[in-house]
C-alpha cells in the first residue's frame, strides 16, 4: 500500500492516478473540501484529514509500505505547520510503522541556503531530519513543474502576452510533472534510489525568454513578453509588508524562485530511473492540444 499526501495537488494527483493505472493499492490523503471523486473512482482508498493533525497522520500511515510526501502549502497556510511539521510527523509515523521507503518531494536549491525563502528553509530542515533517521528514504529535488505553465500557456493562446518578472536570461530546467510522478513511484522501491537525493530537471536548460517562443510554436501565433524588473516585485513586497508582514515574508520563496537559476544535469536521473525525460514542448503539446 502506498500512502500519498497532497493527493489532490498537481503532482500528487498524477502519482495516485498512475499507481491506480497499474493496479497498485494506494491511500490518498485528501482534505474534506478537496476534489477527489476521480481518485475514488479509480479505486484509491480515500483518507480524509488535515496534515496539521498528528493523530490523523498516525492513522493514515498505518499499514502503508511506502509513503510519498507530495503535499505543499496552499496560499495563506502556515509553512511551519504544513511544509515542516506535517513532514516531521509523517516521518516519525513512518518510522514507527516500519515503512519500507519514504519518498520526499523537496525542491531544487533546497541546499543553497536561501534564508529569505521559508519553503526552501523548511524543506532543507525536513531533508536533514529525514536523512538522519534510520528509515530508508529517497529525496527528490525537482526544478519548477512544467504543469505550472499550463495556465500561462492558455493565457498566451488567448492574448499573445507572456508575463515575466526578473531577468529573461535566467535558465531553468522545467521538469515534466508526469516524469516526476513516474520517478517518485519508482523511487519507492528501486534499490538504486535507496538513501539517495536526486536533483530532477527536464532534458533542456531553457532561458526564461525561450518559454514564450515554445508557446509561439505551439499555438502558431506571435507573442510579446511583458517584463517587470525584480526591483518592482521588491517594492510591491515592501508595501505589502507594511500591511501584512506574514504574506511579505512568505513572498520570499517566490522572490527566490524569480531571481535565481534552476538547472541540473539530467543524466544521472535518466540512468538510475531508466527514463527518457520529456521536453517542455512535448509536455505542453500533450497536455494542451491532445488532452480531453
Ligand atoms: N510546483 C512546482 O513547481 C514545484 C517545484 C518544486 C517542488 N515542488 C514541491 O512539490 C510538492 C507538490 O507540489 P504541487 O505543485 O503538486 O502542490 P499543489 O498543487 O500546490 O498541491 C498541494 C497539495 O497539498 C495539499 N495540502 C495542503 N495543505 C494540506 C493540509 N493541511 N492537509 C492535507 N493536505 C494539504 C493540498 O490539498 P488541497 O487540494 O485540499 O488544497 C494539495 O493536494 C510540494 O511539496 C512543492 O513544494 C513544487
Taking only the tens place, the pLDDT of each residue in 124-152 is: 999 999 999 999 999 999 999 999 999 99
CB-count exposure of residue 279 (10 Å: 0-12, 13-18, 19+) = middle
pLDDT tens for each residue of 223-251: 999 999 999 988 999 999 899 998 888 88
Whether residue 21 is predicted with pLDDT greater than 70 in this model: the reply is yes
- 292 in any annotated domain: no
Which DSSP category does 106 fall into?
-
Q: Is residue 230 part of a domain?
A: no
Q: How confident is the model at residue 261 (pLDDT cuts 50, 70, 90)?
A: confident
Q: What rounded mean pLDDT belongs to the chain?
A: 95
Q: 87 in a domain, yes or no?
A: yes
Q: Is 201 in the pocket of ligand 1 (CB under 6 A)?
A: no
Work out the pLDDT band at 270, boundaries 50, 70, 90.
very high
pLDDT above 90 coverage of the chain, percent: 87
Q: What is the pLDDT of residue 86?
A: 98
Pinpoint the alpha helices (H) of the chain: 10-21, 37-41, 54-61, 79, 86-97, 118-132, 149-159, 177-187, 211-219, 230-243, 245-259, 267-273, 280-284
Sequence-ordered list of residues with C-beta below 8 angstroms from that of 150, at least 6 positions apart, any chain: 284, 287, 288
State the pLDDT confidence band at 75, using cuts at 50, 70 and 90. Answer: confident
- For 69-88, what is the mean pLDDT? 95
Q: How many structural domains does the chain have?
A: 1
Report if residue 11 sits inside a domain: yes
82 lines ligand 1 (CB under 6 A): yes
Q: What is the mean pLDDT of residues 62-85?
A: 95
- CATH number of the domain encompassing residue 79: 3.40.50.720
The predicted model gives 201-213 an average pLDDT of 96
212 falls within a domain:
no
* Mean pLDDT to the nearest integer, 171-199: 97
pLDDT of residue 291: 63
pLDDT at 292 over 80: no
Q: To test the ligand 1 pocket, which listed residue (71, 109, 152) has its Cβ within 8 A of the most ligand atoms?
A: 71
| 284 within some domain | no
Q: Which domain holds residue 102?
A: 2-143+176-201+262-277
Give the distance (Å) from ligand 1 centre to CA of residue 197.
20
Above pLDDT 70, what percent of the chain?
99
Question: Is the shortest distance between the CB of 51 and ligand 1 below 6 Å?
Answer: yes
Q: Is 291 part of any domain?
A: no
> 96 CA distance to ligand 1 centroid (A)?
25
pLDDT at 161: 96
Task: Evaluate whether residue 152 is within a structural domain.
Answer: no
CA of 217 from ligand 1 middle (Å) equals 30
10 lines ligand 1 (CB under 6 A): yes
Residue of 47, 72, 262 best suited for mutating to test ligand 1, as the one with most atoms within 8 Å of CB = 72
Amino acid at each position: 500500500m502506498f500512502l500519498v499526501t497532497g493527493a489532490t495537488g498537481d503532482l500528487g494527483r498524477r502519482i495516485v492516478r498512475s499507481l491506480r493505472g497499474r493496479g497498485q493499492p494506494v491511500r490518498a490523503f485528501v482534505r474534506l473540501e478537496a476534489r477527489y471523486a476521480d481518485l475514488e473512482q479509480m479505486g484509491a482508498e480515500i483518507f480524509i484529514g488535515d496534515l496539521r493533525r498528528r493523530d490523523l497522520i498516525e492513522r493514515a500511515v498505518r499499514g502503508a509500505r511506502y509513503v510519498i510526501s507530495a503535499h505543499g502549502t496552499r496560499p495563506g497556510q502556515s509553512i511551519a505547520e504544513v511544509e515542516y511539521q506535517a513532514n516531521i510527523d509523517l516521518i516519525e509515523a513512518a518510522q514507527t510503522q516500519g515503512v519500507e521507503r519514504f519518498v520526499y518531494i523537496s525542491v531544487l536549491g533546497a541546499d543553497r541556503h536561501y534564508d529569505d525563502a521559508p519553503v526552501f528553509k523548511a524543506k532543507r530542515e525536513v531533508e536533514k531530519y529525514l536523512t538522519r533517521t534510520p528509515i530508508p528514504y529517497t529525496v527528490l529535488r525537482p526544478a519548477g513543474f512544467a504543469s505550472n505553465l499550463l495556465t500561462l500557456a492558455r493565457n498566451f493562446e488567448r492574448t499573445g502576452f507572456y508575463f515575466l518578472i526578473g531577468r529573461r536570461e535566467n535558465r531553468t530546467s522545467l521538469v515534466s510533472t508526469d516524469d516526476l510522478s513516474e520517478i517518485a513511484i519508482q523511487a519507492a522501491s528501486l534499490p538504486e534510489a535507496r538513501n539517495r537525493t536526486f536533483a530532477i530537471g527536464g532534458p533542456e536548460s531553457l532561458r526564461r525568454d525561450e518559454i514564450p517562443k515554445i508557446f509561439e510554436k505551439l499555438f502558431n501565433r506571435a507573442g510579446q513578453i511583458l517584463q517587470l524588473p525584480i526591483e518592482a516585485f521588491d517594492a510591491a513586497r515592501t508595501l505589502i509588508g507594511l500591511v501584512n508582514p506574514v504574506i511579505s515574508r512568505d513572498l520570499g520563496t517566490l522572490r527566490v524562485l524569480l531571481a535565481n537559476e534552476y538547472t541540473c544535469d539530467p543524466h544521472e536521473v535518466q540512468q538510475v530511473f531508466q527514463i527518457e525525460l520529456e521536453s517542455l514542448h512535448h509536455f505542453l503539446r500533450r497536455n494542451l492540444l491532445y488532452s480531453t
